[in-house]
A and B are shown apart, each in its own frame.
Chain A
Amino acid sequence: MNAHAFTFAGHDLQALACGALFWPEQELLCVSDLHLGKSGRIARRAGLLVPPYETLDTLARLDAALAETRARTVVCLGDSFDDLAAAGGLSEEESLWIARLQAGRRWIWIEGNHDPGPVDVGGQHRESLSLGGIVFRHIADETASGEISGHYHPKARIALRGRSLARPCFLVSAQRIILPAFGTYTGGLDCRDAAFAPLLKPPVFAVLTGTRATPFKLKQPTKTTPLR
């Protein structure tokens, strides 16, 4: 399994290359910002018919991560559905797949800004979750500590001998972890964006996702907004 292992709030955690966070002791897998049903929402709202495969693709990758980690608990950190109507608009195949993934597992949907209310899909629905001194919520709370959140879709751009590479990433500081978006149709916010400055006190590590989970020490977030 390709992962970067680290200690956070006294617990051993693993940032997986696929963008999910695994907590072995709790057999818990945490993913954020799945944005299931995004293509349907785009069709409804903008009339654009983008390839309707992102939900299946996201579920396939989640399935693989569950098979790999054998997690018994799944925490979806909010924005799991692109909006509340998207949760109702899943195809039969997609609904059955979710049900199959949920079978025999504790499944927690945390509310996000895209899916603020309970959705008609199995599992528990909560605003946040506390476990072993760690709190899971969608949007980071500046004052919290030992917190795991999502929402921002962080992405890091690094320079490698004159070449630059941008990938979704975990951002890890002593107080909190911000997860990358797991959903297929998701963009990213550069980790040097000013939005991260009040949330992340140095030292901050970015763990790049992709084929390998690669940790980098981040320089102080800057005030200017770099591109992408």
Chain B
Amino acid sequence: MRDLPPVFQEWFARRGWALHPHQSEMLARAESPCQLLIAPTGGGKTLAGFLPTLAELGQNPAPGLHTLYISPLKALAADIKRNLRTPVEEMGLAIRIEDRTGDTPQTRRKRQRADPPHILLTTPESLALLLSYEDCARTFAGLQRVVVDEIHALAESKRGDQLMLCLSRLQALCPGLRRVGLSATVEDPSAIATYLARNPDPCDILQADPGPEPDIAMLHTEEAPPWAGGGAAHAIPAVLEQIKAHRTTLIFHNTRAQAELFFHNLWLANAEGLPIGIHHGSLAREQRAKVEAAMVRGDLRAIVCTGSLDLGIDWGDVDLVIQIGAPKNVKRLVQRIGRANHRYNAPSKALLVPANRFEVVECLAALEAVKARDLDGEPRGPGPRDVLCQHILIRACAGPFSAEDLYDEVRSVGAFRDLSRAAFDACLDYCATGGYALRRYDQWQRLMQQPDGTWRLRDPRSAARIRMNIGTIQDTDRLKVRLRGRRGGKPLGEVEEAFAATLTPGDTFLIGGEIVRYEGLREMVVEVTRRADRKPKIATFMGTKFATSTQLTHRMLALLNAPDWPQLPAHTADWLALQREVSRMPRADRLLCESFPHQGRAHFCVYGFAGRNAMQTLGLLLTQRMEQEGLAPLGFVATDYATLIWGLDPVEDPAPLFTADGLRDGLETWLAGNAVMKRTFRASAIIAGLIERNSTGARKSGRQTAFSSDILYDTLRKYDPDHLLLQITREEALRGLVDFGRIEEMLARIRGRIDHLRCPHVTPLAAPLLLEVGKVPVKGAAEERLLREAEEALLAEAGIG
């Protein structure tokens, strides 16, 4: 085993610190070409990852880049820089450590390319950008190690796919490169190992001691949670009590809107004026930095937050984590719980606060899963080809390349190991010519093949535009919010464009914990003024909603079918007992459907338990089929657990609605006009470089606007239905917002066993759905009918027609 160099031993000894076993072990395995460390939050993962680098550089600080550290968060890179510099300076080591992100000044970035530090801390996007320069071989010359932090989070996203493609490029530039991955606790370490390794090479896995069992429970509240919704306002007094009883509390929410609402309500009830802050991804950077600084100083008793605090920044003395709303995903819950007691050997303390009755059941299922250490994971499938297209364009920016070499590199990435040459060539052809059946771009090809067979950019100036669009994060439809002021007021944060489009001057909404009044839109900035109101007129703006994981829904279904529910609060147990009396319980191996009249309309409720996105898709597909059958559906609403459809005529026989082929055909038809599909297409089109991120967002007032990507989608559907980007859009439809894969999973487990119950009135399980927000009207014939109705009324009013 390799020993810690003396200067390190002295430094550790002076502080009375000792290495954790897994930290020593990482040092011992320094030469491993590919090493994955799995350790719980607070286990000193990052130090474990850096020890071999520090030891090597401590002995021989030769100039040039030695270690590249990649983190999913800019803030994390900056945080690690601070944490590393302290010991390095105290030990008197001549090691240069710098970070490089979108926030790094242009001059420093330029210098870093010519004269890189020993350790460079960066993000996947900044790495992709570095690799797009012609001088990248020089920048990375001599690189020894790459450390990928929070690899479990990256492995779930296209950012991670892009990163792994970049690593394949780095490995080609630096054949001796050693890869290190640092991961929180995951359900399937071998999947992350395959993901990290250079395919087909092996990857060593080191599992740290998982630490003591967490202390986790459901929060008891005086008031029962409401039937529907996600605000959890009922829990405010109990949460305040918990804040008082602890040093520092992190209060996690699933969406930004819920975090805003909860923070607002918490503040109204905060009679003692406890210092409480809010932190989420829509807030302006300045706002977030303020909260982060206050947190580090220990000035705050609680922070209301979202996933923006999910990843490893060390916030010090957190001794309680509260999760508001059902956790939706056990793995994420475990990682959030780990934020409490950021010390390795102490149990983490966490409380779950269900926001409605269904979530009480989900929280209980999650508690059981955490106790059983049963984490969830959805396999991600093969590497997305829109990311590959971007990678090809980035490769071209760095200079001429051979298709054979690039294909071999790409296949060394685990997610792309089964990519066929034909599939690769389709992506290359798309990048070069657009890949259209109608070959119109001979003269304007993006990439050209040279006489020696290599590919290069036709116009070298296009590299600048390609670099502008590097990345896979979808942040295109956000608008900045500023206080109205003479020279652009204080920035408050961002809202989604779709939300901004619904605002009219005078509307009030919450952002950054304060109520503001919408004044107007100026050059794509939402201008607002402060308001002293107690209640915002528009309570919420939209946000990403997580779908409950497959594993968690299965646990819920098992729970629902227990003979009784002593672990559940009485209000929820009584509710379930009533459902069993008047109808039935949903089961995993059968599909429960209920029909009942309500307010003069036929209602049809499907308990599919396939997660929010899939249940939403199911609603769209079922209403489409019902419309074909003349049942005149009017609308539907979906939750993680069920879809409720209402219309003019009742469903007599649901079986034909649920044939797998019928639903698949429906998906294909539905692809034509659906807004979610258009959004999916748009995201892939931006990643693959069909359209530009900035040009699609830049619409100034007073000019006719740029045409939307929806038009491109419709045109492709009509004239080139087999085009690569439509293939990619269909592949994406199986996951993500459309999540058709979960519908397939549901169909596979019910195998046509459908129970259709006709009930005289609303059933207990269906009742909460009637109160859900986010009802979706059925488009198509219904829309034209509404339009005609409105037209007649308006014509009569106007005296024309």
The smallest C-beta distance from B541 to any residue of chain A, in angstroms, reads: 14
User: How far is B701's CA from A194's CA once the two chains are assembled, in angstroms?
Assistant: 9
B754-801, CB < 8 A from A: 777, 783-784, 786-788, 790-791, 794-795, 797-798, 800-801
**Complex Cα gap A214–B504 (Å):** 24
B716 within 8 A of A: yes
A54 within 8 Å of B by Cβ? yes
Counting CB contacts under 8 A, is B433 at the interface? yes
Contact across chains for A188 and B440 when beta carbons are under 8 A apart: no
- State which residues 673-706 of B face A: CB under 8 Å: 689-692, 695, 699, 701-706
Partner of A185, one of B458, B522, B711: B711
Partner of B719, one of A53, A158, A185, A216: A53
B438 touches A53 (CB 8 A): yes
A165 and B723 contact, CB distance less than 8 A: no
Q: Chain B contacts of A194 at CB under 8 A?
A: 701-702
Tell me the number of A-to-B contacts counted with CB atoms below 8 Å: 135
Q: Answer whether residue A152 sits at the interface, using C-beta atoms and an 8 A cutoff.
A: yes
A interface: dominant SS: loop
Q: Which one, A21-29, A43-51, A69-77, A124-132, is touching chain B?
A: A43-51
Tell me, in angstroms, the Cα distance from A163 to B790 when the chains sit together.
Answer: 12
Known contacts A47-B444, A52-B436, A57-B719; A225/B711 CB under 8 A: no
A158 CB contacts on chain B under 8 angstroms:
790
A43 to nearest B CB, angstroms? 4
Which residues A160-193 have CB closer than 8 A to chain B?
160-161, 163-165, 181, 184-189, 193
B715 within 8 A of A: yes
Q: Complex Cα distance A142/B801, Å? A: 28
How far, in whole Å, are A186 and B707 apart by their CA atoms in the complex? 5
Q: Are A163 and B777 in contact, CB atoms less than 8 angstroms apart?
A: yes
Nearest CB of A to B27, in Å: 49
The residue in chain A whose Cβ has the minimal distance to the Cβ of B435 is: A49
Distance in Å from the Cβ of A163 to the closest Cβ of chain B? 6
Point out which of B440, B459, B723 has the most chain A C-beta atoms below 10 A from its C-beta.
Answer: B440
**Are B521 and A224 in contact (CB-based, < 8 A)?**
yes
- Provide the residues of chain A in CB contact with B788, threshold 8 Å: 212
Does the CB pair B521–A227 fall under 8 Å?
A: yes
Does A78 belong to the interface (CB within 8 Å)?
Answer: no
A217 contacts B by Cβ under 8 Å: yes
For B784, list chain A residues within 8 Å (CB): 211-212
Cβ of B631 < 8 Å from any Cβ of A? Answer: no
Interface size class of chain B, counting residues whose CB lies under 8 Å from the partner chain: 35 or more
- With A48-B691, A160-B790, A211-B784 as given contacts, are A225 and B701 in contact (CB-CB < 8 Å)? yes
Question: B441, A53: Cβ atoms under 8 Å?
Answer: no
Contact assessment for A161 and B786 in the assembled complex, using a CB-CB cutoff below 8 Å:
yes
Task: Tell me whether A39 is interfacial, beta carbon within 8 Å.
Answer: yes
Cβ–Cβ < 8 Å partners of B704 in chain A: 151-153, 181, 186-189
B712: interface (CB < 8 Å) = yes
| 1/0 contact string of A191-223 vs chain B (CB within 8 Å) | 001110000000001000001101111000000
User: From B466, which residue of chain A is reached at the shortest CB distance?
Assistant: A47
A224: nearest chain-B partner, CB-CB: B520
> Is B465 interfacial (CB 8 A cutoff)?
yes
B695 touches A46 (CB 8 A): yes
Whether A214 contacts B440 in the complex (CB less than 8 A), given A185-B711, A186-B704, comes out as: no
A50 touching B690 by the CB < 8 A rule? yes
Report if A88 contacts B (CB, 8 A).
no
In the complex, whether B275 has a CB less than 8 A from a CB of chain A is no
Which residues of chain B are within 8 angstroms of A228 by Cβ–Cβ distance? 501, 699, 705
Would you call B441 and A49 a contact (CB within 8 A)? yes
B441 touches A215 (CB 8 A): no
B456 vs chain A, min Cβ distance (A): 13
Quick one: which of A40, A152, A163 has the most chain B CB within 10 A? A163
Q: Which residues of A contact B440 (CB under 8 A)?
A: 39-40, 52, 91
Question: CA of A17 to CA of B553 in the docked complex: distance in angstroms?
Answer: 48
A187 near B702: Cβ-Cβ < 8 Å: no
CB proximity of B709 to chain A, nearest CB, Å: 9
A51–B719 touching, CB < 8 Å: yes
Given contacts A46-B465, A49-B441, A51-B436, contact A163 B446 (CB under 8 A): no
Of A52, A152, A187, which is within 8 A of B707 by CB?
A: A187
Confirm or deny: A118 has a beta carbon within 8 angstroms of a beta carbon on chain B: no
| Complex interface residues of chain B between 438 and 486 (CB less than 8 A to chain A) | 438, 440-441, 444, 446, 458-459, 462, 465
Please, how many angstroms separate the alpha-carbon atoms of A158 and B788 in the complex? Answer: 13
The residue among B504, B777, B787 with the most chain A CB atoms within 10 A of its own CB is: B787
B708 within 8 A of A: yes
- List of A residues within 8 angstroms of B718 by Cβ: 53, 57
Cβ–Cβ contact A215 & B800, under 8 A: yes
A202 to B479, CA, bound (A): 32
Of residues 40 to 93 in A, which have CB atoms within 8 Å of B's CB atoms?
40, 43-44, 46-54, 56-57, 91
- Give the CA-CA distance A158 to B794 in the complex, in Å: 12
Is B497's CB within 8 Å of the partner chain A? Answer: yes
Chain A residues within 8 Å of B434, by CB: 49-52
A224 to B527, CA, bound (A): 11
| Complex Cα spacing A164 to B783, Å | 10
**Contact residue among B500, B504, B705, B797 (Cβ-Cβ distance under 8 Å from A189):** B705
A189–B500 CA distance with the chains assembled, in angstroms = 17
Given the contacts A152-B704, A187-B704, A225-B701, A48 and B786 also touching, CB distance less than 8 Å:
no
CA distance A94 to B784 in the complex (A): 34
Residue from B458, B501, B505, B794 in contact with A216 in the complex, judged by beta carbons closer than 8 Å? B794
Q: How far is it, in angstroms, between the C-alpha of A153 and the C-alpha of B702 when the chains are bound? A: 11
Q: Are A50 and B691 in contact (CB under 8 A)?
A: yes
The CA of A225 and the CA of B705, in the complex, are separated in Å by 12
Query: In this assembly, does B79 line the interface, its C-beta being within 8 Å of a C-beta of chain A?
Result: no
Instruction: Contact check, B791 vs A215: say whether CB atoms are below 8 A apart.
Output: yes
- Flag whether A226 is at the interface (Cβ < 8 A): yes
Residue of B nearest to A186 (CB): B707
Interface flags, B699-736, vs A, CB<8A=1, else 0? 10111111110011001101110010000000000000
List chain A residues, Cβ under 8 A from B801: 215
Minimum C-beta distance from B793 to chain A (A):
11
Cβ of B6 to closest chain A Cβ, rounded Å: 57
User: Which among A46, A48, A187, A211 has the highest number of chain B CB atoms within 10 Å?
Assistant: A48
| Contact present for A184 and B715 (CB under 8 Å) | yes
- CB pair A51 B712 closer than 8 Å: yes
Complex contact A43–B787 (CB within 8 A) = no
Q: Is there an interface contact between B712 and A187, defined as CB atoms closer than 8 Å?
A: no
For residue A47, which residues in chain B have a CB less than 8 angstroms away from its CB?
A: 444, 446, 458-459, 462, 465
Q: Which residue of B lies closest to A162 (CB)?
A: B777
Interface centre among A54, A187, A227 (most CB of B within 10 A): A227
Q: Mark B50-86, 1 if CB is under 8 A from A, else 0.
A: 0000000000000000000000000000000000000
Give the shortest distance, in Å, between B519 (CB) and chain A (any CB).
8
0/1 string, A129-164, CB within 8 A of B gives 1: 000000000000000000000011100001011011
Interface of chain B residues 502 through 516 with chain A (CB within 8 A): 502, 504-505
A43 B723 Cβ-Cβ under 8 A: no
B441 and A52 form a contact (CB under 8 A): yes
The docked-state distance in angstroms from the alpha carbon of A67 to that of B611 is: 50
Which residues in A have some Cβ–Cβ distance to B below 8 Å? 39-40, 43-44, 46-54, 56-57, 91, 151-153, 158, 160-161, 163-165, 181, 184-189, 193-195, 205, 211-212, 214-217, 224-228
CB-CB nearest 4 A-B residue pairs: A49-B434, A52-B440, A153-B704, A43-B444
- CB pairs A–B below 8 angstroms (15 shown): A44-B444, A48-B691, A49-B436, A49-B446, A51-B716, A56-B719, A57-B719, A163-B786, A164-B501, A185-B712, A189-B705, A195-B702, A215-B791, A215-B800, A225-B522
Extra inter-chain contacts (10) besides given A43-B441, A50-B712, A91-B440, CB under 8 Å:
A47-B458, A51-B716, A52-B440, A52-B441, A160-B787, A185-B707, A185-B715, A187-B699, A187-B708, A189-B705
> Which residue numbers of B lie inside 8 Å of A, CB to CB?
433-434, 436, 438, 440-441, 444, 446, 458-459, 462, 465, 497, 500-502, 504-505, 520-522, 689-692, 695, 699, 701-708, 711-712, 715-716, 718-720, 723, 777, 783-784, 786-788, 790-791, 794-795, 797-798, 800-801
